[in-house]
Amino acid sequence: MKLIHSLVGMFALSILSLSVQAKQWHEVKVVQAGKAQSGAYFVYLTDQTTENSEFENKLFRLSDGVNATGLAIALEGITEGRKIRVLSNIDELAESKMPYIDVIYLMDKLVD
């Protein structure tokens, strides 16, 4: 019985931690991408997930796990005129904070 209570408790904690760290997917147009003098990779993005964009020309930093590969994907999006899909913490942050991108991939859809 103790084991069941422990498992239920661990499950509840994992659900709670996921909701606190919830991130959201966005389909975006890459406006600009590059590498800063500090070595950080960045992109400027415009949301194209819905008709009412949540952000326009917003600066994002690529997380350590994405870095150069993410930059290559972003540049491909610019060159090909295709949307990029990103998973970021933008919905969790105040407007003045710089959001991070944790996952990025190229889509088949053309930018609007």
Q: What 3-state DSSP class applies to 74?
A: helix
Confidence at 23, pLDDT banded by 50, 70, 90? confident
SS3 label, residue 7: helix
Nearest-Å Rg of the Cα atoms of the chain is 17
- HEC sequence for 36-73: CCCCCEEEEEEECCCCCCCCCCEEEEECCCCHHHHHHH
CATH number belonging to domain 23-110: 2.40.50
- With pLDDT > 90 as the criterion, what percentage of the chain qualifies? 62
**d(C-alpha 13, C-alpha 6), whole Å:** 11
> Which pLDDT tens digit goes with each residue over 1-21?
554 544 444 444 444 344 445
